[in-house]
């Protein structure tokens, strides 16, 4: 009688998961070995987790992604069976629901968990880049007092308005004061996992300046001027972009609908129809559905394209 190693292995995993007391441990017990085996396929997620500063291990996060996907597939399977029976579907239609719904739910959950770290990392990058000029100006002002570089970052943590940069400064201070790392090591660790290339460049520059005994105040002020220049250039580009969008909105979503409504109103007085539809019905459809829908799409477009 042959022995199936997969069934035996999965049975051991289930037993181990049943003995755990939290979802993270259970997910690791069930899918940790699978994640280890295929970890090379999810290296981008591993990097995104670091840049997003999510307080979770890569192995645990991907194990939870597999676990939640399987749970979603199970729920979808039950839902598909119940819905197919209650609706009296034919066998072929029922199979489509029973197979399609679990697969769709599982893929949706796994896809969401796959891209979520990258989206959070992008959000952190944007937050750091937006606050970089002002944080560097403040850092330069602190540097003029002649205090040690380590204390500069400790002071920066007291200002929450710098967002992600304050968080990065707090991690630097924690590594130095709590974990006992030297400043250059702490700066390297934070720079390596920061989602912002500009902020990482500043940290590496501070490391080089400190190690070579350079003028830290001059370096920070120089980087602050560069960051402020880049920030102003980006804002000018955004203003030009918004001006173009405003012109487009005025012409297409204000002037054109008004002109169209006027034309349809005149045509309604004269009578007739367009493509079999009454003029009055077309006016109602345009005013109450089409124009609001186009405006909603335009708002969504702005939310996706404007920082």
Which among 229, 249, 276 is the end of a domain?
Answer: 229
**pLDDT, tens digit (0-9, with 9 covering 90-100), for 29-79:** 889 888 998 888 899 999 999 999 888 999 999 999 999 999 999 999 998
Check whether residue 241 and residue 286 sit in a common domain.
yes
Residues 256, 268 within the same domain? yes
Same structural domain, 98 and 143? no
Beta pairing partners, 54: none
Q: What is the per-residue pLDDT for 149? A: 84
Say yes or no to pLDDT of 4 above 60: no
Q: Which two tokens stand for residue 57?
A: 């291990």
Distance of CA 94 to CAs 99, 104, 105, 106, 108, Å?
9, 15, 17, 18, 21
Position 124 scores a pLDDT of 92
Domain ends where: 120, 143, 167? 120
**Token match 């030297």: residue?**
182
Residues 108 and 59 in one domain: yes
Does one domain contain both 82 and 115?
yes
On whether both 160 and 241 belong to a single domain, the answer is no
Structural domain of 164: 125-229
User: How many domains is the chain built from?
Assistant: 3
The domain boundary residue, chosen from 96, 120, 144 = 120
As to burial, measured by CB atoms within 10 angstroms (0-12 exposed, 13-18 middle, 19+ buried), residue 94 is middle
Same domain? 112 vs 41? yes
Q: Name the strand (E) or helix (H) holding 278.
A: strand 277-278
Q: What is the pLDDT of residues 72-116, one digit of tens each?
A: 999 999 988 888 888 888 888 888 888 888 999 999 999 999 999
**Predicted pLDDT of residue 276:** 67
Check whether residue 91 and residue 60 sit in a common domain: yes
């Amino acid at each position: 009688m042959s022995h199936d190693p997969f069934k035996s292995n999965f049975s051991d995993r289930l037993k181990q998961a049943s003995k755990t007391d939290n979802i993270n441990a259970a997910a690791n017990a069930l899918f940790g070995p699978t994640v280890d085996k295929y970890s090379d396929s999810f290296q981008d997620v591993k990097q995104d987790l670091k840049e997003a500063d999510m307080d979770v291990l890569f192995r645990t996060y991907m194990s939870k992604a597999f676990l939640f996907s399987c749970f979603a597939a199970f729920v979808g399977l039950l839902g598909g069976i119940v819905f197919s029976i209650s609706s009296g579907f034919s066998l072929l239609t029922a199979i489509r629901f029973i197979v399609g719904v679990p697969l769709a739910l599982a893929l949706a959950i796994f896809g969401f968990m796959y891209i979520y770290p990258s989206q959070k990392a992008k959000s952190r990058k944007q937050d750091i880049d937006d606050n970089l000029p002002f944080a560097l100006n403040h850092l330069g002002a602190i540097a003029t007092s002649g205090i040690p570089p380590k204390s500069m970052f400790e002071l920066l943590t007291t200002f929450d308005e710098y967002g992600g940069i304050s968080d990065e400064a707090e991690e630097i201070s924690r590594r130095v004061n709590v974990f006992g790392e030297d400043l250059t090591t702490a700066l390297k660790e934070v720079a390596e996992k920061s989602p912002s290339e500009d902020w990482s460049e500043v940290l590496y520059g501070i490391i080089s300046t400190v190690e070579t005994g350079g003028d830290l105040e001059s370096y920070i002020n120089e980087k602050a001027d560069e960051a402020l220049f880049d920030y102003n250039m980006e804002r000018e580009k955004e203003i030009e972009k918004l001006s173009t969008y405003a012109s487009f909105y005025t012409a297409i979503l204000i002037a054109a609908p008004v002109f169209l409504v006027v034309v349809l109103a005149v045509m309604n007085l004269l009578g007739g129809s367009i493509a079999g539809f009454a003029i009055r019905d077309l006016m109602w459809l345009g005013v109450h559905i089409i124009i609001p829908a186009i405006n909603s799409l335009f708002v969504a477009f702005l939310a996706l394209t404007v920082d």
